Amino acid sequence: MSTAIREKFIEHMQFFGLAKQTQRTYVNGVKGLAKYHNQSPEKLTDDQVRSYFRHLLLERKLARSSCGSYLCGITYFYKHLCNREVDDRFGLPSRPRSKKLPQVLSMEEVSRLLSCAVNLKQRVLLKTIYSAGLRVSEAIRLKPEHIESDPSRMMLRIEQGKGRKDRYTVLSERLLCELREYWKKYSPGEWLFSGRKPDSHITPTSVSRALYRAKKSSNNQRV
């Protein structure tokens, strides 16, 4: 994938307001396709694209959800950059809809899970997600000024959540106490939950790891 095509692709997505994470995912999908065939992506045939998805599924053993993300990027590229119709998902099977009900934890299980976080930062982060009903993408982008702790308000302001919409969610007294304890220890800067670098927020991967460790520790206590 040449630099010129990549820049044109990114410029198009920026113009139409796609989120930066979406832009990265779409670029990576097309970049992987071009690298697999060692050929510029706009010159590839549908059969070549299909063979790439077979490679992802059968050889690299990627999950269908990951392949679906690549499919979205590749489809977007061909439709909007190459004016090419795509109507068969390049042979990628649709994910079967799960009929399983989600597991609902009891209050005791939730309490034990949150208490098993390895440090105060991870515990408060997980509690914020649970208590305020946030998506991970919303929680990691919280800033100190988003906490509206006036007794007449008691809100968390969510900026550019799903669908790039702003919204408010309730801030409980218990969570506010936890956040104040966290504030005294960590003194956050631009981001409420910073990453390894002070000027960046924590990543979704780090949140997943924190939850996994807490869940594993909680399960060990239960045994």
Q: Where are the domains of the chain?
A: 3-91, 107-222
CA dist., res. 92 & res. 78, Å (int) = 16
Specify the range with the lowest mean pLDDT, choosing from 57-61, 99-103, 163-167.
99-103
Distance CA 222, CA 34 (A): 49
Alpha helices, DSSP H only, in the chain? Answer: 3-15, 20-37, 46-54, 64-76, 107-115, 120-132, 136-139, 173-186, 204-222
Whether the model clears a pTM of 0.85, i.e. scores above it, the answer is: no
Question: Helix, strand, or coil here: 161?
Answer: coil
- Dmax over CA atoms of the chain, in Å, equals 62
Same fold, 3-91 and 107-222: no
pLDDT digits (tens, 9 = 90+) for 2-51: 889 999 999 999 998 888 888 999 999 999 999 999 999 999 999 999 99
Class of domain 3-91: mainly alpha
CB neighbours of residue 2 within 10 Å: 11
Note the CATH architecture for domain 107-222. Orthogonal Bundle (1.10)
pLDDT in tens, 148-177: 999 988 999 998 766 678 899 999 999 999
Residue 127 burial (C-beta neighbours within 10 Å; 0-12, 13-18, 19+): buried
